[in-house]
Amino acid sequence: MTTANRLDITLGEAIFSLRAIRRIKPDPIPDNDLHTILDAARQAPNGANRQPWHFIVLRDAEVRKRFGAIYRVAWWAKRNDEGFFKPEDIPDHYKPAMALADDIGQVPAIVLVCTTAPGSRESVIPATQNLLLSARALGIGGTITSLHPKVSDDVRELLDLPDGAEVVYCVPLGYPQGRFGPVTRKPLSEVVSVDRWGSVPEWAPPG
Ligand SMILES: Cc1cc2nc3c(=O)[nH]c(=O)nc-3n(C[C@H](O)[C@H](O)[C@H](O)COP(=O)(O)O)c2cc1C
């Protein structure tokens, strides 16, 4: 069976129910599902088809634990930059992300989406979305997350990153404890114009 045939929920269902899944069961992801997810990721458009990406899948328990400790430092470094220093300071909208920062080491697979060439970070963005949509089609959830310069050296050492390569996104993956979608987004009328900024089409009503 080809990768395309394994992704057999509708595209619409996948897109409209793809939300950030941060509470993840520890159950392992089968090899063939990881194959499908990464095979879908590498089909994505990218600048000049240079495919300047590399995906490191963390599965070993000890590696995940060590990465989890680094991720937690990175998450708090980002919050420190915003003026938050302890759990009591953290606003409610960050609470699920804070919990993920504590738990990410127990997530069954963590995909580190890397760029292999300087100036090519944008090229891994469509691949990351392909990765998440194909995971969704297999009942596997996750979310895009980012690290922080404070942990760059630790990440490089843990993963043996070659010169020129860097982690762009860190995507925890696994079976959701909760449910997929729907998502809450601004109405079309706030985000779409036709011909010039601010001319809202009648097919994009508010709400
Ligand atoms: C570029 C980018 C960076 C993100 N970084 C993080 C992150 O560091 N930690 C996290 O938990 N979620 C992160 N997210 C997930 C967003 O918080 C999430 O997509 C957004 O809040 C919408 O959530 P929803 O799809 O569940 O509605 C990131 C998403 C994007 C696109």
In order of their start, the domains of the chain are 3-191 (3.40.109.10)
State in Å: Cα 144 to ligand 1 middle: 6
Report the atom number in ligand 1 closest to the C-alpha of 20: 26
pTM of the model: 0.96
Ligand 1 site, residue 19, Cβ cutoff 6 A: yes
Other C-beta atoms within 10 Å of 175: how many?
A: 16
Tens-place pLDDT, residues 56-73: 999 999 999 999 999 999
Res 207: pLDDT: 73
Res 206: pLDDT: 82
The DSSP symbol for 83 reads T
Distance of CA 70 to the CA centre of its chain: 17
CA nearest ligand 1 atom 31, residue: 144
Res 73: pLDDT: 98
Q: How do beta strands 53-58 and 109-115 pair?
A: antiparallel
Within the chain, which residues score under 70 in pLDDT? Answer: none
Res 1: pLDDT: 82
Pick from 18, 60, 47, 8: which is nearest to 176 by CA? 18
